[in-house]
Amino acid sequence: MVNDLVPLFFDIDLVIVITASLLMRSGSAGAAIFAFGQGMLIDLFSAGFLGLFALLYVISYLCLELGARFFDLRSVQGQFILVGLVVLIKELVLVGLLDAFAFEVVLSASLFFWFGVSAVFTGLIAPFIFSILRAVQIRTGGESREAA
């Protein structure tokens, strides 16, 4: 039964990557609003209890905020480690919340393996997303300066 679920646990979390990028470039307020807003949006479109994903992404944001004191988000290694760690924490908190409030989650080695794979993959793509967002920011910033 768990094997059938394997693809479900593989989750590349772009919301956390973008939140980390916003935290680095736009500051805490923008990142927190984005994380909470995305969480609320996911809550509205999912059949889970309202506030589950909003809470999860706020926790993820707080972990990013705290982790940014120990890891340098401007370096590729820092982005990889911090984003990967936060994805892992998010998955663990999600499973804990689901198990406590929604339904019984079968805890197994494969579940944690796929959480780890998700964390590593999200960490790996994080520097690319960071550079894309930076390019977009530079471009839009340039255009707005030209318009002014």
Question: Where do contacts with another protein occur on this chain (CB under 8 A)?
Answer: 1, 4-5, 8, 11, 42, 45-48, 53, 94, 98, 102-104
Tokens (6 digits) for 48: 């889970």
Q: How far is the CB of 119 from another protein (least distance, A)?
A: 16
Q: Which is nearer to another protein, 104 or 146 (CB)?
A: 104
* Nearest CB to another protein, comparing residues 39 and 78: 39
- Which ranges constitute the DSSP H helices of 1-148? 2-9, 14-25, 28-45, 52-67, 76-97, 109-147
For another protein, the closer of residues 37 and 142 by Cβ is 37
In order of 16, 27, 102, 106, 117, the CA distances from 35 in angstroms are: 8, 13, 22, 28, 22
Q: How far apart are CA 126 and CA 55, in angstroms?
A: 22
Spatial separation of the C-alpha atoms in residues 85 and 90, rounded to whole Å? 9
Q: Which is nearer to another protein, 66 or 102 (CB)?
A: 102
